[in-house]
């Protein structure tokens, strides 16, 4: 099945905060530059690339020299607003090094839920792709909170990337995280944990294996990644979960190499 990945034309790339931010809270400029280079080269090959990027709060914490997320929602929203601007500045700088134009879209779940606004978002992404521009999508953290009466929050960017993949009928979702794929147990604490090379169905047994949240700078965990995989599989879209420490691993994925965990339906 992996040899079919090279034919994927419309690809959503999701990067987690752990790819963009070092454990010490500093920005991983090497990874961001490698990501910009890789996605630009794929664009030059004639592929259509959409980037779903976490990292607003992580970058905001770094910008403000803060070690931990602030406790209140307004403070978190302010940090996200500061971080989002800085993150896009960094992306713009690195992508322009390779002469690739990008665009920003900040989404909330209610935008997706309403047919007219969903159509507008889809049309915008489609037009950007026609223009050869890489859309950079993130959740609008300054608006999206669980406490509002109407649900505006996706939950995390894992789920958002799955929804975006569904909206634009992507061929493939590549999810880069801080782990090599989906394991039978936490490989950081259990050396006997084994990597699943390919998964064709998300069931309760797999969901039980999934843990909680990820790093202190991000919100995603393995459970959310499985739920994202479940959603894309429901729409016959394949997904690869792999380690984003070196974003150039995307080249290996599209070359059909056996890296990460491939989620795909049996044909």
Check residue 218 and give its pLDDT. 35
Looking at the structure of the chain, the number of domains it has is 1
Average the pLDDT over each of 54-58, 150-154, 253-257 and give the range with the smallest value.
150-154
Q: Looking up tokens 């801080």, which residue turns up? A: 178
Q: Mean pLDDT across the stretch 203-225?
A: 63
Q: Element (H or E) spanning 145, and its range? A: none
Instruction: Name the residue among 186, 123, 135 with its Cα closest to residue 160.
Output: 135
Is 131 part of any known ligand binding site?
no
Does 126 have pLDDT greater than 70?
yes
Does 149 have pLDDT greater than 80?
no
Check residue 217 and give its pLDDT. 33
Is 224 part of any known ligand binding site?
yes
Check residue 211 and give its pLDDT. 59
Is 221 part of any known ligand binding site?
yes
Is 227 part of any known ligand binding site?
no
158-185 residue pLDDT tens: 889 999 999 999 999 999 998 899 888 7
Q: Mean pLDDT across the stretch 96-113?
A: 90
Average the pLDDT over each of 121-135, 181-195, 213-227 and give the range with the smallest value.
213-227
Cα–Cα distance between 3 and 24 in angstroms, integer?
A: 38
Residue range(s) defining the domain that contains residue 184: 2-263
Is 246 part of any known ligand binding site?
no
Is 178 part of any known ligand binding site?
yes
- CATH number of the domain that residue 64 is part of: 3.40.1160.10
DSSP letter at 236? T
Is 99 part of any known ligand binding site?
no
- The model's confidence at residue 155, banded by pLDDT at 50, 70 and 90, is low
List, in order, residues 6 or more apart from 23 with CB less than 8 Å away.
215
Q: Element (H or E) spanning 168, and its range? A: none
Is 63 part of any known ligand binding site?
no
Is 130 part of any known ligand binding site?
no
Is 141 part of any known ligand binding site?
yes
Q: Element (H or E) spanning 192, and its range? A: none
CA angle 77, 80, 81 (to 5 degrees): 90
- Model confidence, pTM: 0.90
Is 157 part of any known ligand binding site?
yes
């Amino acid at each position: 099945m992996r040899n079919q990945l090279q034919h994927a034309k419309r690809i959503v790339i999701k990067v987690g905060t752990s790819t963009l931010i070092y454990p010490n809270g500093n920005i991983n400029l090497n990874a961001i530059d490698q990501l910009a280079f890789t996605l630009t080269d794929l664009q030059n090959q004639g592929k259509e690339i959409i980037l779903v990027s976490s990292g607003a709060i992580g970058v905001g914490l770094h910008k403000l020299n803060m070690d931990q997320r602030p406790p209140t929602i307004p403070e978190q929203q302010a940090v996200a607003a500061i971080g989002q601007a800085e993150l896009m500045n960094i992306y713009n700088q690195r992508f322009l090094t390779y002469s690739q134009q990008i665009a920003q879209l900040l989404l909330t779940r209610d935008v997706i839920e309403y047919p007219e606004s969903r159509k507008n978002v889809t049309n915008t992404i489609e037009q950007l792709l026609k223009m050869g521009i890489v859309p950079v999508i993130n959740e609008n953290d300054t608006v999206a909170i669980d406490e509002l009466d109407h649900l505006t929050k996706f939950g995390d960017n894992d789920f958002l990337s799955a929804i975006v993949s569904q909206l634009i009928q992507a061929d493939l979702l590549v999810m880069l995280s801080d782990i090599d794929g989906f394991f039978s147990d936490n490989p950081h604490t259990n050396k006997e944990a084994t990597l699943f090379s390919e998964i064709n169905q998300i069931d309760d047994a797999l969901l039980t294996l999934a843990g909680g949240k990820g790093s202190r700078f991000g919100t995603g965990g393995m459970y959310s990644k499985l739920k994202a995989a479940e959603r894309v599989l429901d729409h016959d879209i394949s997904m690869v979960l792999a380690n984003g420490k070196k974003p150039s691993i995307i080249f290996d994925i599209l070359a059909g190499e056996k890296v990460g965990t491939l989620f795909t339906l049996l044909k």
